[in-house]
Structure 1
């Protein structure tokens, strides 16, 4: 049983709770009010564990919302980010709740990344899929959103050639260098060969 000796404002919204024969605790004012923590109150150990958990949960949720203010995160990505400072169960609870509320939405995030990687950066499937996997998205979801860009492979390769690799084609061994560069962008050699052959034929015509 913990007996409260004092409840005093510490900094900002943080309050200091002093106990008889125990180390002080620092809790958010919302938690202090929710559990009616006051001088003289006696708190069972299991009840105190719940209070501490609620305080940590609140801190983790605020941290998550702070991160989401700057950009989207996948469920897994945000969970791993929070895990640097909080326990597993708290991270799960926060991410589950934010997913329920729509603050985390893996499909929305995947579609946004697909537009960025395929339309802006003009990556091939393999490079885009690798980048998205590192963001904690599932292979099934990645395949689904990237499948919408299957018909634009030739177009993206030709755009990359004109924008980045046109001068290389004129160098000795330039075709090979361009093919390798496109492969690093995530395109298969079969797609590269087909698109490059067509591009060179059109230039000759």
Structure 2
């Protein structure tokens, strides 16, 4: 995947490519220094990294406002980054350290030692009623669920049950903003951006704890 950079920042283009595990120490050090320099000179608007999890590899992306995107593998991480480049900023850089807190909190969550996330969120990718839904989701307690109808009521539009489904399906921050806790009125799972197995895993994780 190739992301466009403004001419003033073309020198960091190679940093958009994932780090090679066999990279020479000197090159890895240069990569880290350039990432720091890009941040200091505001040449980077979005930092990203990929982390392992029980629901597969997760792409984490953050702006200076907070966590902007969490994406499952089946969404195609390359396409997700391209959409961020098209809609937010092309100045995207692999800078894992910027996402250390998010990675740590996700590790704690999957280990069963964290029930709430304490991270700044950048919710600019959602608007209107969808944003209202996202703001409500963290209020659904760990280990509990709500129906689409209950969420519609809580978000201020009792008749917008389908719109709640759309808001959950387009949630840019799954896991951290827990749309997996929204189920059908009969208790069945309903759809999920990460797939049915991922939703089951998350709900079972919270039930066991």
Bigger relative CO (Cα 8 Å, ≥ 6 apart)? 2
**What TM-score, normalized to structure 1?**
0.31
| TM-score under structure 2 length normalisation | 0.30
Write 1 or 2 for the structure with the bigger share of helix: 1
Which structure has the larger Rg over C-alpha atoms? 1
